Amino acid sequence: MSARSAVPRVLWLPAVAALALVVLPVLGLLTRVDPTRLPALLLSPAALDALRLSVQTAALSTALSLLLGGPLAVVLARSRMRGLRVVRAVVLLPLVLPPVVGGLALLYLLGRTGPVGGLLDAVGLRLPYTTTAVVLAQVFVAMPFLVVGLEGALRTAGARYEQVAATLGAGPWLAFRRVTVPLLLPALGSSLVLTFARALGEFGATITFAGSLQGTTRTLPLAIYTEAQSDVDAAVAMSLLLVVLALVVIVVARPKAVEGRL
């Protein structure tokens, strides 16, 4: 038996208990739903609208997180500016804040009475309770996952490759494109998966900042909460749909991310 495959027996019991803690509640959903109603519930206009909106907004928020969070991760990992620890703490704050706090922060900043929202409202732009608000809320809570993954990869790799490129005459932008970006690629897949999955399941910040309007801001988590008040079977069916969607994303994308690290 190889050293890598040997698992101490004492670890099996807590490992099985941890697995049961994750799997059994999900299996419990299957005992609640009526199989004869499941197709109709999943194909209802409310479920399809929520599914479409969830996938679209999660994809947009993941792309925006990459566009903004990728450079931020490089700055945090490579910059030597003063106060970097404080900046890093602020960036990672959404990881520990309750999502509803993030929703309130966005609302009071970008709402009609907020300092930025008031200026936008003066030119006819309103962000709260729109699809754009959903994307912003998802970016707020999900982007730190991408920043953590990419910054960790850069810190693990070290800065020696960029330093070698600099000694060979490469400028900062050339070194970034030819050295830093390839270093990030192995960790990029797993970071994007986590970001998309977190955006897909976002609830608190979304309902606070964007509301719950069918076809506009009611994503799957919000639709589940809404249906749970009147039709438990519909809520359970949508919950199973969200579970399956999240599993597909992780199972399909995770092996590719792992291969990139080997």
pLDDT digits over 97-154, tens only? Answer: 999 999 999 999 999 888 998 898 888 889 999 999 999 999 999 999 999 999 888 8
pLDDT of residue 2 exceeding 90, the answer is no
Q: Among residues of the chain, what percentage have pLDDT more than 90?
A: 42
pTM check: above 0.95: no
Chain-wide mean pLDDT for the chain?
Answer: 86
Q: Among residues of the chain, what percentage have pLDDT more than 70?
A: 94
pLDDT digits over 33-50, tens only? Answer: 778 888 888 888 888 999
Task: Write the DSSP string, 27-70.
Answer: HHHHHHS-TTTHHHHHTSHHHHHHHHHHHHHHHHHHHHHHHHHH
pLDDT digits over 81-96, tens only? Answer: 888 889 889 998 999 9
The confidence band for 182, taking pLDDT boundaries of 50, 70 and 90, is: confident
Residue 37, Cβ density class (10 Å: 0-12 exposed, 13-18 middle, ≥19 buried): middle
Buried b (16+ CB within 10 A) or exposed e, 227-240: beeebeebbbbbbb
Neighbours of 169 (CB within 10 A): 7
**Mean pLDDT of the 59-64 span:** 96
pLDDT of residue 62 exceeding 70, the answer is yes
pLDDT of residue 187 exceeding 80, the answer is yes
* Long-range contacts formed by 59-65: CB under 8 A, 24+ apart: 59/196, 60/135, 61/135, 61/138, 61/139, 61/142, 61/195, 61/199, 62/142, 62/146, 62/192, 62/195, 62/196, 62/199, 64/135, 64/139, 64/143, 65/139, 65/142, 65/143, 65/146, 65/195, 65/199
pLDDT digits over 214-245, tens only? Answer: 989 999 999 999 998 888 888 998 998 898 88
